[in-house]
Amino acid sequence: MHTVLIIDDNDINLTLAKALVQRLGDCQPLTFDRPREALEWCRANEADLVVVDYMMPDMDGLQFIAAFRALPGREDIPILMVTANDQRDIRYEALEGGANDFLNKPIDRVEFSARARNMLALRSSRKFLADRAHHLEVLVEERTAAIREREKELIVRISRAAEFRDPETGAHIQRMAHYSHLIAQTLGLPERDCRLILEAAPMHDVGKIGIPDYILLKPGRLTPEEFEIMKGHARLGYELLTGSGSAVLQAGAQIACSHHEKFDGSGYPGGLVGPAIPLFGRIVAVADVFDALTSERPYKKAWSLDDAAKFLRDGAGKHFDPDCVEAFLRSWEQALAIHQRFRDAEEPVF
């Protein structure tokens, strides 16, 4: 049902136009004898066609059109202006001001119907195009969200694949990801990067898939040779994830390769020093070590949170980036909340 707004200060003209609109079919006429009231209505409502007389007291048709076109979202609503035949100068001005077509007085039903139908068809086409554009936009958003969800699921599954071969738990992966996210936020990283590290950090040890069981699952201390093989998981993880078009997998590759680097250059695999270590790697190093220390493992008891905090503080500038340690400790209350929130044996929630 189209809404056709009719504005004329003369009752007989209003009645005539209203009757003609009713006879168009599928149209609801709405009449105003005062242009200002019509304009007020237009601020909150959307008509499909506006039929406006030229000569009215208080506000003439040209002034109405100018005020109407200035309202947001009213640029494309068709306007038919009713004028006398001899008002050619007014017609030119109206065209300049945003009228789409004219009706001659006295109004002729055939002419009125044809012009009104043309204008309504124009309106319908514009609405259809706008709706279709909006529909496509929503569709693309939905599809993109679905792809993102699948990507996230895939990442969780990749991360869990490593877990199956590792005594570390799903809860560890959750906590270290959220600690990483917390540090990134406290450092003031853009929201996009904060989300990225939250989603990519769980893949930090995915390279352990390629480490033989006799080393990965060895209950005792590793020999130097075994440790060398174990260190290979950083590069293996990188090789597994690198080259992807996905920003999350790219970040995962960077984290896998750099989270065992140490700020003073004594880490592996690259022996990188300070800012040469990617920031995500420096952040994850703090998060991963803190959670490993405060988690109970078959071969060790959990450290107290304060002892673990002290370890970070002592290692700042040596093992860890001091800025990352400081950011983590500055958000200590939130870190404790993460520690409490993700207990072992919980299902991953991202």
Partner 1 sequence: MSERLVLDKATILDRLGGDEEIFTVMADMYLQDCDNYCRELDSALGDDDAPRLYREAHTVKGLLATFADDAGTALASDLEQRAKVAASTAGFVAEVAALKARMSLLADALRQDGGG
Provide the binding-site residues for partner 1, judged by CB under 8 A.
9-13, 15-16, 19-20, 23, 55, 57, 84, 86, 105-110, 113
316 secondary structure, DSSP code? B
Q: Among residues 1 and 110, whose Cβ is nearest to partner 1?
A: 110
How many whole angstroms separate alpha carbon 155 and alpha carbon 159? 6
Work out how close the CB of 131 gets to partner 1 at its nearest, in angstroms, rounded to a whole number.
Answer: 33
CB of 21 to partner 1, least distance (A): 11
d(CA 304, CA 256): 27
Quick one: 27 or 338, whose CB is closer to partner 1?
Answer: 27
Residue closer to partner 1 (CB basis): 15 or 144: 15
Question: Between residues 96 and 108, which has the closer beta carbon with respect to partner 1?
Answer: 108
Q: How far is the CB of 99 from partner 1 (least distance, A)?
A: 18
For residue 111, the minimal CB distance to partner 1 (Å) is: 9
Of 26 and 86, the one with the shorter C-beta distance to partner 1 is: 86
Alpha-carbon distances, residue 207 vs 80, 170, 307 (angstroms): 70, 16, 29
- In this structure, what token pair is assigned to residue 127? 């609405």
Tell me the H-state helices in 295-350: 305-315, 322-330, 332-341
Least separation in angstroms between residue 110's CB and partner 1 is: 6
Ranges of H-type helices in the chain: 11-22, 35-44, 61-69, 88-97, 109-164, 170-186, 191-200, 213-216, 224-241, 247-258, 279-294, 305-315, 322-330, 332-341
